[in-house]
Structure 1
Amino acid sequence: MRPPRLPVLSGLIVTMGLIGNAAHAAPAASQDAHQDALYAPIDPARMSETIRVLASDPFEGRAPGTIGAGRTVNYLIARFKAIGLEPAGENGSWVQEVPMVHTKIGPDASVLFRTGKKEPLDYRQTREVYLTTNTPSARIHIDDAPVVFVGYGVHAPERDWDDFKGIDLKGKIAVILVNDPDFRAAPGDAVSGRFGGRAMTYFGRWTYKYEEAVRRGAVGALIVHDTEAASYPWSTVIAPGGEAYDIAHSGAPESLLVRGWIEGSAARKLFARAGLDFDRLSAQARRPDFTPVTLPDTSFSADFAVATNTLQSRNVIGKIPGKVHPDESIVYGAHWDAFGRSRSRDGKTVIRRGAVDDGSGIAAILEIARAFRAGPQPDRTLLFAAWTAEERGLLGSTWYVEHPLMSLPKTVANFTVDVLQMAGLSRNAFLVGAGQDSLQDDFVTMAKSQGRTTQEEALPERGAFYRADHLPFARAGVPVLPIMDLAGYPDLVDGGVAAGRKWLDGYMACYHQPCDAWSPDWDLRGAAEDTAVLYEVGRSLAFSRMWPSWKQGSEFKAIRERTESERPAL
């Protein structure tokens, strides 16, 4: 065991472990020993082996509700036990049950857009449209629903923005642009900077747009696909194959009968059929005086079967109890699910293995747990969570936040790992959602101790901060620190930015595809570096009375402040 040391971090006295010391090893140490110190006590080889197992054939791509999912849960429980964690699930178990509804729309589904007496547009599933539903029904039937273009579908009074202008969407189909209203704004435009510029806000996420359509009574919602604004191609949109998952609610909450995407050129064709210029209307949607436009004499009809079943999925949760403040928790989490088995366009069965996304995150969480278990017992409780159904809408982490197993006001921080790079040691690290909370400052300090610089994410338009399992915690007011190595190009020690670009571009071509598979050629030392930083930031909290805080301007600051009275006085 190594005792905690006490340097200064973010202006407060906290603990520091091996990384800060090892990164300044004596000059006589070998280069290999110095590099090893950058990610001690995290083992890259063990991380690689974890990913190899999770991405292997028996796990079948780890889709919730499948045989592979059951094997995944059993594997994770066995690993938690072997590390020496204690169960932290329900009723003294290792799991938290997550009731879900699973639906699947068949590949032969299609919809009809009728415009007056013109030939109807017959748009087919995965070709011109991609449809899903969260409604547990055997059949979806919509007959001649009016179609309304609602711009970016944003209602944000705090930003003096309302795309809806009081329109009644009951029984109608909403067509919505992806991303924020200022995504393509030019300098001087009325909307310029109102939603963070190129950095996506939560208003730009498709999940928010569906939620807003539900609140306004729409029967369906279609988001217009745009590769640049969505940050992923059409092939990524259609990858789930018509499947959808949702939390099984005890009541009968409002939902969209059909939701999904319409391919960009197909949307332009539809608008032109109705006598409208899609690009001109899209430009108008970037103005605060935009008003919704009903497509003249145009309707949407659909009639297709839906396969529906209920299932119990599971979060796997272990802990190291705190010896001084056991009711205060620090949560490390990653998602265990991927997209499972499916059919390719040529009819072959493929497995989308989710090696990097997010086998790498699970490998990191297991290594962090092992490192903590080898050291002194922390003052605060450490939770290690493997969430289900992140790829289906952050369902496992959302369920935990709605049904917390430890107090959320007394949850000190959440650390989420979702995609680590596999190309070796890097000179830089990226902040996802820079400027949100003080944990990011701690991350900068720890990365600097490794000799690395930190940068804001290079592609904030991807909205990475709103796309992973830390988000439900943030929305509950818990300070968060996500690590996502798709936030920018790594400056690799071996090959520089050019090599980092090659890795990330290659990975993004495999994002949610069968080629996201384990490789023996990977170099996980860079992934271990990032994992070690999270370990050290967590140590600084586990042995202190520090409470991270949201920064001024964060939309989550007020939420946390409302619960401060539930925390013990320092």
Structure 2
Amino acid sequence: MLFGAPALAQSTDQATEISAEEITRTVKTMTLDQFEGRAPGTAGEDRTIGYLIGRFEALGLEPGGVDGSWTQPVPLLHTALGKPETLSITSKGKATALNAGKDIYVSTLQPRDRVTVEDADMVFVGYGVTAPERGWDDFKDVDLKGKVAVFLVNDPDFAAASDEPVAGTFGGRAMTYYGRWTYKFEEAARRGASAALIIHETEAAGYGWSVVESPQGENYGIAKPDGEMTSLALQGWISGETATKLFDEAGLDLASLRAAARSKEFKPVAIGARFSAAYPVTQEVVKSQNVFGKISGKSRPDETIIYGAHWDAYGEGPPDKDGKIYRSGANDDALGIAGIMEIARKFKSMPQPDRTIVIAAWSAEERGLLGSEVYAQNPIYPVEKTVANLAIDVLQTAGKAKDVILVGKGQGTLEDDLAKFARLQGRVVTEENLPERGLFFRADHFSLAKRGVPVLLMMSLAGASDLVDGGRAAGQKWIDDYTGNCYHAACDAWTPEWDLTGAVQDINVMFDIGNEFAYSDKWPEWKAGSEFKKIRDASSEARR
């Protein structure tokens, strides 16, 4: 039966084990063509939501959504830019036309039929960071209203030499949230800018220009009333080559300004150029949904442990070499959904927990963590009494591993719990090997982290696992094969070659961490130096 729940194991011994067979059944079902790639706001979403609710009911969960339902509405603004009517930069009286997609890539999150930026002054704001806890302010009270803010990507210390004063201020090679493009656009909007452009550098961004332009002018955001709409008519990227040329023509040296921006004394620099753009826009509001099941706590039901994964994928795309059109995300993140279902099944086989267990299936992660952000802005369960958010997003499918990958070292005490329970499996913790890519900030747990909730992300893309069969070289080969061929593509599909024994190890670790808090009165904490500790500490009285 397509949308019903598969039969669950009956015996107690079977029920208390995380099952690779059940995981496989869930993934194979969620990637069927009938779900049309699980894109938000489509018939495929409707079928996905029905399937998830059916599964949650069969697992014996209670409805955990709004007003006793299974869901929470996620209204999304979907925009797409047409061909630009105007797109140019004027410097020293000379207007230079820009090539959309090659020189510059922009989109909009304003619900307009047409967006314009008319002759707006361009201001270089360095890394665009305001971090009082680090004694850092790149803006120095400059007025950005109606102007175009031009940013460097990543953090002020990303490219710093070890003897520079800034070295280590923002974690060195490990990206903080201040380095993410989302933060930079948010900061530009807070300051009333009309547009924001980030200068692209492949190493600092963690991806090439082809990734920047891949959405082809589309964007998704949370639908908001006019009074809460972003000030940014356009937001996006300018290529490194185009930016260098722009600064040269204005009599400025971008390389020197990059160095200057690595200092607390940096002040914004007027570029002496003006930006103009006009685009037609198609826009619509898409109605999507998060899905929640729960196991109510016995003695402290108002304290919650949230397990989360995202149900959405990329929907329909151009045919691949095998003629497949649906980008259904078997690993990203049907496998995560299957994992949290298995965790729910295991909890249901045990005595009722003291705290409430929430199983969250988020919408629109692939569109910018939007479903989890809607929840974080309108939480069903108070964030100050949310014990932790434990997230699963992409697990390796190449077999047992001698280690588990830690994403976001130094953020919170949950990483110590990860090490403890991995050790009980005979495994060790390996830190992510590309922390400059900021994976800690690129999954749904981050929406709750921003509100101070302690979080832990299980994501195998953050580093090569040390596989029992083949070692770290085999783990790297798995990452290279997956990211190089199937990430966000139609071939992210279940195959008989999947070996889920390593994924089961990781899911068990996540269960064990939540299980320890489910039957105790302990609270995990943020570590000193985390940008989220101050937020959590402000609500400490609610947890006494």
In the superposition, the TM-score normalised over structure 2's length comes to: 0.92
Which runs of structure 2 are paired with 1:326-341 in the superposition (5 Å)? 326-341=301-316
Aligned equivalent of 2:3: none
Equivalent position SS for 1:191: coil
The CA deviation at 1:154 is 0.8
The amino acid that maps onto 2:122 is: V
**Contact 2:35–2:44 (CA<8 Å) still a contact in 1?**
yes
Aligned equivalent of 2:267: 291
Aligned equivalent of 1:424: 399
**Contact 2:84–2:280 (CA<8 Å) still a contact in 1?**
no
Equivalent position SS for 1:52: helix
C-alpha distance 148-513 of structure 1, shift in aligned 2 (>3 A): farther
**Is 1:439 the equivalent of 2:414?**
yes
Aligned equivalent of 2:6: none
Deviations 1:139-180 (A, max 9, x none): 012222122221111122322222222222121111111110
Equivalent position SS for 2:493: coil
Equivalent position SS for 1:166: coil
- Whole-Å Cα distance in 2 between the matches of residues 108 and 45 of structure 1? 51
**Contact 1:86–1:319 (CA<8 Å) still a contact in 2?**
yes
**Contact 1:110–1:123 (CA<8 Å) still a contact in 2?**
no
Aligned equivalent of 1:300: 275
- Whole-Å Cα distance in 2 between the matches of residues 412 and 110 of structure 1? 50
- Whole-Å Cα distance in 2 between the matches of residues 275 and 548 of structure 1? 52
C-alpha distance 109-456 of structure 1, shift in aligned 2 (>3 A): farther
Equivalent position SS for 1:252: helix
The CA deviation at 1:352 is 3.0
The CA deviation at 1:408 is 2.0
**Contact 1:236–1:512 (CA<8 Å) still a contact in 2?**
no
**Contact 2:84–2:278 (CA<8 Å) still a contact in 1?**
no
C-alpha distance 361-553 of structure 1, shift in aligned 2 (>3 A): same
**Is 1:478 the equivalent of 2:476?**
no
The CA deviation at 1:204 is 0.4
**Is 1:96 the equivalent of 2:101?**
no
The CA deviation at 1:490 is 0.6
Aligned equivalent of 2:372: 397
In the superposition, the TM-score normalised over structure 1's length comes to: 0.88
C-alpha distance 59-275 of structure 1, shift in aligned 2 (>3 A): farther
Deviations 1:83-121 (A, max 9, x none): 111111112211011222221123667722233354613
**Is 1:85 the equivalent of 2:61?**
yes
Q: Identify unmatched segments of 5+ residues in structure 2.
A: 1-12
Aligned equivalent of 1:324: 299
The CA deviation at 1:205 is 0.7
Equivalent position SS for 2:266: coil
**Contact 2:16–2:349 (CA<8 Å) still a contact in 1?**
no
The amino acid that maps onto 2:209 is: W
Aligned equivalent of 2:439: 464
Identify which of 515, 520, 533 aligns with 2:496. 520
The CA deviation at 1:485 is 1.1
Identify which of 62, 65, 69 aligns with 2:41. 65
- Whole-Å Cα distance in 1 between the matches of residues 319 and 221 of structure 2? 24
Greater CA drift, 380-389 or 471-480: 471-480
- Whole-Å Cα distance in 1 between the matches of residues 505 and 63 of structure 2? 28
The CA deviation at 1:276 is 3.0
The amino acid that maps onto 1:121 is: A
Identify which of 507, 528, 531 aligns with 1:555. 531
The CA deviation at 1:343 is 5.0
Greater CA drift, 396-405 or 336-345: 336-345
Deviations 1:263-311 (A, max 9, x none): 2223223333333332232222222222222223x22111111111112
C-alpha distance 333-143 of structure 1, shift in aligned 2 (>3 A): same
Aligned equivalent of 1:536: 512
- Whole-Å Cα distance in 2 between the matches of residues 185 and 45 of structure 1? 49
Equivalent position SS for 2:460: coil
Q: Identify unmatched segments of 5+ residues in structure 1.
A: 1-35
Equivalent position SS for 1:212: helix
The CA deviation at 1:138 is 0.5
Aligned equivalent of 2:26: 50
- Whole-Å Cα distance in 2 between the matches of residues 68 and 383 of structure 1? 24
- Whole-Å Cα distance in 1 between the matches of residues 102 and 489 of structure 2? 18
Aligned equivalent of 1:151: 126
The amino acid that maps onto 1:363 is: A
Aligned residues: percent identity?
53
**Contact 1:40–1:532 (CA<8 Å) still a contact in 2?**
no
- Whole-Å Cα distance in 2 between the matches of residues 342 and 108 of structure 1? 24
Which runs of structure 2 are paired with 1:144-543 in the superposition (5 Å)? 144-255=119-230, 256-296=232-272, 298-342=273-317, 350-509=325-484, 510-543=486-519
Aligned equivalent of 2:521: 545
Equivalent position SS for 2:462: coil
**Contact 1:107–1:242 (CA<8 Å) still a contact in 2?**
no
- Whole-Å Cα distance in 2 between the matches of residues 342 and 50 of structure 1? 23
In the comparison of the two structures, how many residue pairs are matched? 529
Greater CA drift, 490-499 or 401-410: 401-410
The amino acid that maps onto 1:508 is: T
**Contact 1:55–1:354 (CA<8 Å) still a contact in 2?**
yes
The amino acid that maps onto 1:173 is: V
C-alpha distance 196-183 of structure 1, shift in aligned 2 (>3 A): same
The CA deviation at 1:197 is 0.5
Deviations 1:229-250 (A, max 9, x none): 1112223222333222222224
The CA deviation at 1:70 is 1.6
The CA deviation at 1:129 is 2.1
The CA deviation at 1:40 is 7.3
- Whole-Å Cα distance in 1 between the matches of residues 305 and 135 of structure 2? 37
**Contact 1:177–1:223 (CA<8 Å) still a contact in 2?**
yes
Greater CA drift, 527-536 or 370-379: 370-379
Equivalent position SS for 1:435: coil
Equivalent position SS for 1:123: coil
**Once superposed, what is the RMSD of the aligned Cα atoms?**
2.3
- Whole-Å Cα distance in 1 between the matches of residues 309 and 291 of structure 2? 10
Aligned equivalent of 2:103: 128
The amino acid that maps onto 1:507 is: Y
Aligned equivalent of 1:24: none
